[in-house]
Amino acid sequence: MTNETRYGVTRPSEDDIRKGDFSTPWDAPMIPPFPFRFRNVEVMTLYWRTDPEALAFLLPPPLQPTGDVACVHIYKMNDTDWLGPYSEANVMFGAELPGKASGAYSPYLVLSSDIGVAHGREVHGQPKKLGMPSIEMRGDLIVGRVERNGIDVLTATLPYKQKPVEAAALKPHFDFATNLNLKAVNHIDGRPAIRQLTSRRLAEVTVHEAWEGPCTVELRANAQLPVYRLPVVEPLRGFYWRADFTLVAGEIIHDYLESAP
């Protein structure tokens, strides 16, 4: 019965189960294989100056911070392979693994898709949790909100399309297209199975429009999404932009188990 087909699906063999793109349940898999495409994504990107000691505290060693600026991307994913429409927020700041990789580390992510939560945690090691980010146009103001547990843990505002900019202007402080994450997975008996720093970079990025302006960022305390630990010392610049991009496989930049003494 190894390759029996029923209900339009084929029963996997042991070799199929060993493959890298395998996901459960095998007759209705949850995790999409790479690559998959995001189309007509609307994004608010807001930067603020924060406490450098907070950045250093939230980084897993041996990663090091590269500045004193944090940002949040609030995404309205309008058309995504497998996942469909959903929303996401990614809090990031500049970080590097000296001599190996640099980009942006994500201490907090929240999104409205169960598939997105599962994929981010299982594949990238991203600390994703379920919540409800949103982008709203309110007259001459763009308002971004990140809600979890009925609390707006982050509220951001930006003037509506006042100053057009080129795509290169979106990354004035660090290259957020390269995302660094800590992946931690245990065996069923509690032994550590995976302890890695991972890196992935968005591919085939096409920016259709981008607008810049002064921004505000307000944080509220929430023990399950403690973005308040990156306090707003000074709001900087914000951007509203619309793009297409592709999520592709990444790489392991540090393996804690292999490097253990």
Model confidence at 2, in pLDDT bands (50, 70, 90)?
low
* Domain parsing of the chain, residue ranges: 32-255
The span from the CA of 80 to the CA of 17, in Å, is 26
Place of tokens 């949040």: 72
| DSSP-assigned letter for residue 32 | P
DSSP codes, 38-94:
EEEEEEEEEEEE--HHHHHHHSPTT-EEEEEEEEEEEEEE-EETTT-SEEEEEEEEE
Q: What are phi and psi of 18, to 5 degrees?
A: -75, -15
More confident residue, 2 or 158: 158
DSSP codes, 110-163:
EES-HHHHHHIIIII---EEE-EEEEEEETTEEEEEEEETTEEEEEEEEESS-E
pLDDT tens digits, 186-208: 999 999 999 999 999 999 999 99
Place of tokens 């990031």: 92
| DSSP-assigned letter for residue 229 | G
pLDDT tens digits, 115-129: 999 999 999 999 999
Catalytic residue among 19, 76, 128, 171: 128
Q: Any idea which fold 32-255 has?
A: Acetoacetate decarboxylase-like (2.40.400)
Give catalytic status of residue 128 as yes or no: yes
Helix (H/G/I), strand (E/B), else coil: 171: coil
Peptide bond connecting 62 to the previous residue in cis, omega within 30 degrees of 0: yes
More confident residue, 18 or 229: 229
